[in-house]
Amino acid sequence: MALPILMYHAVLPIGATEQVRGTVPLATFREQIGWLARRGYRALTLDEVAAALGGRHDAARGRSVAISFDDGYRCVVEHALPVLEEFGMTAVLFVVTGAVGRTTDWYVPKGGRAFEHADWSELERAAAHGFAIGSHSVGHLSLASASDAAVADELGASKEAIEKRLGACRHFAYPFGSHSDATVAAVQRAGYATACTTEAGLNRRGQPLLRLRRQAVSRTATAGRFRRRAGAWF
């Protein structure tokens, strides 16, 4: 058993040749999700991923994949989630709680654009439609180089903010993929069931649940590269 967790950031209705850092064109995203659906893939929740990796044999039946989005951008709620619903798939949105309802320019210095983040009402609608809302910290801080107190605050305050509005928050994604043994221990103390890194690879039985690997889907992913990211070698 090998479970891929796909990692996206933004999805926008732009031309296939238009390059916006951090963004997969909507048409490309629809093609990717449609490809998975036509080949019988089932989109797992991270709770199901955890059960499967822990040895529960019925947690991942047949072809399985998990889908995640980092940062909590409005365009994901507007464009990506309807596509997933159309094909009967689910996903987890990792939200930077300090940026909810704001616009950030994280990608601008790298040749990208500013992005609007979903507000709480939009996240509530996403959760009501069955999409999980996880934490991506309060301020998108690189946790491995932060103080113990700062790490505890980033983990705890973001979890509390999500649970106050949306219910249980069980899943975390490390900003920038930055983590260490101390960070992982802090995530465990904060009460998260899983945590996603940016380390590439598939997840097999016994994979530490607070160090889950993901397959990044970039704006330049070809059909063949996407299929490899999804573990579709069969």
In a domain, 113, yes or no: yes
- Total structural domains in the chain? 1
> Residue 198, exposed/middle/buried by CB under 10 A (0-12, 13-18, 19+)?
middle
Rounded alpha-carbon distances, angstroms, from residue 51 to 55, 59, 78, 113: 6, 6, 30, 38
- Tokens standing for residue 15: 């031309």
In a domain, 221, yes or no: yes
Full-prediction pTM beyond 0.75? yes
Assess contact for 174 and 155: CB atoms under 8 A: no
Assess contact for 100 and 158: CB atoms under 8 A: no
In a domain, 234, yes or no: no
What pLDDT digit, counting tens, does each position of 67-91 carry? Answer: 999 999 999 999 999 999 999 999 9
What CATH number corresponds to the domain at position 225? 3.20.20.370
Range of 104's domain?
2-229
What pLDDT digit, counting tens, does each position of 129-180 carry? Answer: 999 999 999 999 999 999 999 999 999 999 999 999 999 999 999 999 999 9
For the chain, give the mean pLDDT.
92
* Residue 234 scores a pLDDT above 50: no
> Residue 101, exposed/middle/buried by CB under 10 A (0-12, 13-18, 19+)?
middle
In a domain, 194, yes or no: yes
Predicted confidence at residue 20, as pLDDT, reads: 84
Residue with tokens 């933004």: 10
* Residue 47 scores a pLDDT above 50: yes
Predicted confidence at residue 39, as pLDDT, reads: 93
In a domain, 7, yes or no: yes
Rounded alpha-carbon distances, angstroms, from residue 2 to 97, 105, 119, 150, 167: 31, 36, 35, 35, 30
231/118 Cα distance (integer angstroms): 30
In a domain, 189, yes or no: yes
Phi/psi of residue 185, nearest 5 degrees: -65, -40
